[in-house]
Each structure stands twice: as C-alpha cells, then as structure tokens.
Amino acid sequence: MTTAVKNGMPALGLVLATVAIASGGSAAEDHATGEAPAARARRPVALALSGDGAALLVANGRSGTISEIDVPSATRVAEHPVARALGDLAPLGDGLRFAAVDPEAGELLLLEHRAGRLAVKARLGVGPDPIRVAILPGGQACAVASRWGRRLAIVDIGPGGGEGALRLRRSIDLLFPPREVLPLREGKALLVADAFGGRLAVVDPAGGTIASVREVPGHNLRGLAIADGGAAVVLARQLSSRLATSSFDDVHWGDLMKNQVLSLRADAILDPAADILRGSSSRDLDEVGHAAGDPEDLAIDPKGRIVVALAGVGEVAVLGDRASPIVRVPAGTRPSAVVVDSRRDLAFVADVEEDSVAIVPLGGGAGRVASLGPRPGPTAIERGERLFNSARLSHHGWMSCRSCHAEGHTGGFAVDTFGDKSYGAPKLVPSLLGAGATGPWGWLGNFGTLEDQARFSIETTMRGKPLDDGDVADLAAYVRSLRPPPPPAAPREAADRGALVFRSKKCANCHAGEALTSDGVKDVGLVDDVGNRAFNPPSLRGVAQRTRFLHDGRAGSLEAVFSEHKHPPGVSLADSELHDLLAHLRTL
C-alpha cells in the first residue's frame, strides 16, 4: 500500500519550498572565495555529511566541483573545484577525510574538509571510468568500481596526504561492468552489483579472488545497503517480464515493468553454494495509477526506514515496516542520491536535473530545497536527456527510456514491445551507445529515423501521451550524442590476428563501415517466434560491453554466438580462430 501525495504529504507534513540562498534575490557569495557562484551545469551525483554533521558535501558530476551546504540554514556556502568530473563521494569515518572518484581522469581522490576548506590531499590513477568508491571498515582502505574497465581496485589509505597516502593494493577483473559496492563481514567480503543487469559478485579483497557471481531477477540494481543488523542487504531494482507485452493493460497493471526494493539474506549472499534468493523478499514501490519509475538510490536510517530516490517521477519513497504504508514525497525533477542525517532525522536528496538538494524531515515538518547555484539554459541535448530519464512520459510513471537503456546502454534482457509490429517474439533491448550513426533502427530495421523510433517508443512501448515535434527532436539529439563505450583490454597480438579472421570470414558483409553495421536487414539463418527471418545487424562498436546477443538474447556470451549458435551459418571457426576473433571484437 502506498500513500500517494501530489500536492502535500499528510504522513510527514512535508512541503518543499525553494530556499533563498541570499537576501534581496541576488546570488550568494562563496564563503571560500568571496565570489558569486558561476552559472554552470553541476549535476549532483553523491552526498556526504561532514564529521560534525554541520555541512553537507555535494559531489557535482558534470562540473567536478563539490558544493558545501550549511545544514542548519540549508544554504550553499562554498563550491570547491577538485576534479574534471565526479562519480561518487564517501566519508572515511574520521570526521575529516573523504574519498571521491573522477571518471574522466580515471582517478581516486583523497580530500580533507577542515574549517570550511576542502583540500585535495592525494590522487591515484585507478583505471578507466571509476564510478563508485566504498570505504572498508576502519577507513584505511577502499574499493573503487570502474564501470567500463570492468575492474575493482583495492586501495590502501594512509594517514595525512601527499605521495603514498593512496596505494593501489590490487586490481580485480570482473565479468561485468560494476557500479554499486558494499563491504560485508567487516570488510572481508565485497558485494559488487552489475551496473546494468542483475548480476552480483562476492569478492575477497584480501585474496583478490571472486568467490561467486550469481544473478537476481531484474536490472538497474541500485543503492546497496545493510539492513536488519547485518542479516540482510537491501537494494532497489527494476523487474521486466518477458511474458508481458507493451499492451495498455500490461503497462497499466505493472506487468511489463515493476519498481521494487529487494531484500536478500546476507548468509545466502556469502555462501557460494546457496540459492541467492533463499529467504529473500521484495516490496513493490508502485501503485496502480501512481507508479514509481526508476529507483536510483536508497539509504537506511537507524530506525530501519528505507528512503528511496525515485528518479523517474521526481519523488522520494519512505518505507517503514510492512504494516505501514509507503509514503511518497515530491523531491524535484530527478532525485539521484540520498543520504540520511540521523542526528536531525533528515534525508538529503540530490536532484541531478535541477542542481539542488531537497531536505526531507523524516519525522514530520516542512522540508526545504537548497539551490547549488545558477545554471545556464539547457541545450537541446540536455533537454533530450531530461526527457530520456523521465518516467512521467509513460502511462502513470511506470518506466522511462532509461528503465531499459540505463545511461544509454542495455540491461541485457528481452522485452515484447511491438517494435516488430507483433507480439509473441520478445526482442533483446539494444544498447543506444553509438546508435545515432546506425540507422535504420529497430531489430527489423523498420524505423527510418531516430525521431520515428523515439515517438513509437513513447506512445506504444511506454503508452505515454504523444510528444510534440520539438520534444521528439530533443530526445533524438540526446541519443545521437551518446558515444560507444570504450572496449575492455584485450591481447594486442591476438586481436590483430582476429582482425584477419574477421575479414577472411566476411563478417564485414553485415558489419561494415565506421559503425560496423549495415543499412538494411540480413537473413543469417535465425528465425524468431513469429517467423521473422531478416534482422537489422547491430553495430559491433562496444560489443564486448554487452552481456547477451542476437535478436532475442539467446546467446549468453560473445563466444556462445559462434560456438553454440553457429553464427553466421556456413562459417566454421577453429578454436584458435575463435580465440583471436573474440580478442578482436573486444577491441572495437
């Protein structure tokens, strides 16, 4: 049961009102610099409280700055440039120091916050695209998840700063792009979640080994947190059913896409031989007529309440025990990160679209919104990104474009969307990274423009209201801006030999040109469940960053495409040729 509130919140009495950060309507000065804040796109992605709880530090993903908010007055008092970009921010637990990651520079940063000043004490290269940092108990080490690098770095943290304060202990290669990381068993194990699909790995940071890799139903796993005194782990997920369709009824009743909080038993997670779902439970965040599209982050307070940022619908959900209704609070446009202040019984919620932080009183009373500073007007690409990530475009808020294509990529599952003009043959969700240059679109190549594909997806797959031409153009502009993901590392000599195999086996008949695709459909001996035989060849750019392959996802690995499904027909590969071809594909 959900208490859904659109114009108020009886259960918490919350009214969010924008906080004026300076008298007279002018912009406040930074206390650190004495200068008015610059107009810039900040895009906050992570939050951390200072040791005394008096300051909230806000990591801004786009600008690479950290905004400082005075908690008692809810005003922004400073903005500190520290990096090219930021992906995460976490306190070490000593009251002064924090770790942050810069995905553009590929660096881990050690920061010190003292007397209103924030200083970078050390930097360490940790590999491409670090997106999350988790502090191990004791604050003397951390784990850094590199998404496209498919790697987990274990870093020792020494006292003070300077050279030697950060030392790479080891790097651990993973089987999937990671995102969330959670220390378990007092840091003796790390739970690592798939950035896009449903896989969970348990890693031994001391030995540098992977104890297990298992999969839970769902995708877009977000916000790992310890619950029930360490007996459970909770996370947010989205759950799509291959048996449902994008018909109005299946969307309306939540059969196609659900938004949930999943609770897993810690002992089942840590036992490699156990069913990871043993003793698990889930809780729907949705209500028919008022769905909860795109849960993006969660936090748990000392009372056991779970606070979930619902990025797609601009709300926060507060979950008590199962006997209590879920309370939902308006929280801006796209809430992206949550941290709980147990001293004041507050939740702070970053809004990545509005460059602001909502302050939510969990025990009742009026809430506030602190602005991080002025922003320039949005570009067409930025307007399109907002639309792409808005579940408000769908019928009753069940899903957004991001629900299937998080960060433009794919969760690696199949869904029956009527994209092939029929139901009964679910198709694999394709990655949109680099898709702007790969027309025509759709598995049957039946969309001649990105605009046509976007309009169809909103109106038919999501059962939303028609968009005007300007919105469709913005949405297409955003998709065209998405670049293919960088490939993981591969042996160079084998990759060079694999390029020769690629040419000799005539792979370029379907995968040619800069985009490594074709401008029409091809019959390669595959048939779907409704008789379609000719399919639109996907681009091979970034192919190694995907998890399932072929039109319906029947191949669970790149190797399986060739070894199990004999693609393309009539082509045989020796073991050595397959090894080299896979190495080549992993460089694209």
pLDDT tens by residue, 404-457: 999 999 999 999 999 888 999 999 999 999 999 999 999 999 999 999 999 999
pLDDT at 18: 41
- Quick: pLDDT tens for 77-92: 999 999 999 999 999 9
**Residue keyed to tokens 């069940």:** 398
Residue 11, pLDDT above cutoff 60: no
Average pLDDT over residues 296-310: 97
Position 24 scores a pLDDT of: 27
CA-wise closest residue to 200 among 281, 107, 270: 270
AA letter at 449: T
Q: Are strands 16-19 and 367-371 parallel, antiparallel or unpaired?
A: parallel
Task: Say if residue 104's pLDDT is above 60.
Answer: yes
Average pLDDT for the chain: 93
**Do both 354 and 246 map to the same domain?**
yes
Fill in the DSSP letter of residue 473.
Answer: H
Whether residue 518 is found in the same domain as residue 535: yes
Same domain (yes/no): 224, 364: yes
Provide the pLDDT confidence category of residue 316 given band limits of 50, 70 and 90: very high
Q: Which domain holds residue 432?
A: 381-481
Give residue 19's pLDDT.
Answer: 39
Flag whether 472 is in a domain.
Answer: yes
Average pLDDT value for residue range 493-511: 95
Residue 530's region, left for phi above 0, alpha for psi from -120 to 50, else beta, is alpha
Q: Which residues in 189-214 are b (16+ Cβ under 10 Å) and which e?
A: bbbbbbbbbbbbbbbebeeeebebbb
Q: Considering 212, 230, 252, which residue would you say is the last residue of a domain?
A: 212
* Contact present, 467 and 550 (Cβ < 8 Å): no
What separation in angstroms does the CA of 364 have from each of 285, 470, 487? 21, 41, 49
Specify the pLDDT at position 116: 86
Q: 565 and 427, same structural domain?
A: no
In this predicted structure, the answer to whether residue 21 has a pLDDT above a threshold of 50 is: no
Q: What is the pLDDT of residue 8?
A: 34
Choosing from 328, 357, 377, the residue where a domain stops is: 377
pLDDT tens-place string over residues 327-344: 999 999 999 999 999 999
- Does residue 267 lie in a domain region? yes
pLDDT digits (tens, 9 = 90+) for 178-226: 999 999 999 999 999 999 999 999 999 999 999 999 999 999 999 999 9
For residue 240, what are the β-bridge partners? Answer: 257
Are 185 and 323 contained in the same domain? no
What's the pLDDT tens digit per position in 465-491? 999 999 999 999 999 999 999 998 778
Co-location of 355 and 275 in the same domain: yes
Tokens linked to 49: 């409280």
Last residue within a domain, chosen from 150, 183, 212: 212
How far apart (Å, rounded) are the C-alpha atoms in residues 111 and 96?
Answer: 8
* Bridge partners of residue 118, in order along the sequence: 113
Q: Is residue 37 part of a domain?
A: no
Q: Are residues 468 and 535 in the same domain?
A: no
Would you state the structure tokens that stand for residue 99, as one six-digit string?
């770790």
261, containing H or E segment: strand 257-265
Contact 475, 457 (CB under 8 A): no
Whether the CB-CB separation of 292 and 261 falls below 8 Å is answered with: no
Work out the average pLDDT over 304-321. 97
* Residue 396 domain flag: yes
> Which pLDDT value is given to residue 325?
94
Residue 139 belongs to a domain:
yes
For 321, counting Cβ atoms within 10 Å of its Cβ (0-12 exposed, 13-18 middle, 19+ buried), the class is exposed
CATH code for position 459: 1.10.760.10
We report the CATH number of the domain holding residue 168 as: 2.130.10.10
Same domain, 242 and 342: yes
- 27 lies in some domain: no
Helix axes 575-585, 492-504, angle to 10 degrees: 110
What does pTM read for this prediction?
0.94
The reply to whether 221 and 318 lie within a common domain is: yes
Q: Are residues 386 and 356 in the same domain?
A: no
419 found inside a domain: yes
pLDDT of residue 16: 53
Backbone angles phi, psi at 403, to 5 degrees: -60, -40
* 309 neighbors 296 (Cβ within 8 angstroms): yes
Residues composing the chain? 588
Pairing verdict, β 65-70 and 55-60: antiparallel
pLDDT digits (tens, 9 = 90+) for 50-67: 999 999 999 999 999 999
Residues contacting 317, CB < 8 A, separation 6+? 2, 285, 292, 295, 307, 308, 310, 326, 327, 328, 329
Q: How far apart, in whole angstroms, are the C-alpha atoms of residue 252 and residue 117?
A: 51
- Token pair of 290, please? 């008022």
> Would the pLDDT of 172 be above 60?
yes
Question: What percent of the chain shows pLDDT beyond 70?
Answer: 94
In a domain, 38, yes or no: no
Q: Is the confidence at residue 26, as pLDDT, over 50? A: no
Do 283 and 349 fall within a single domain?
yes
Instruction: Give the tokens for residue 72.
Output: 């008692």
Over residues 141-160, mean pLDDT:
97
pLDDT of 234: 99
| Domain count along the chain | 4
Rounded CA gap, 333 and 391, in Å? Answer: 11
| CB half-sphere exposure, 13, CA atoms < 13 A | 5
Query: At 5, is the pLDDT very low, low, confident or very high (cuts 50, 70, 90)?
Result: very low
Say yes or no: 232 and 305 in one domain: yes
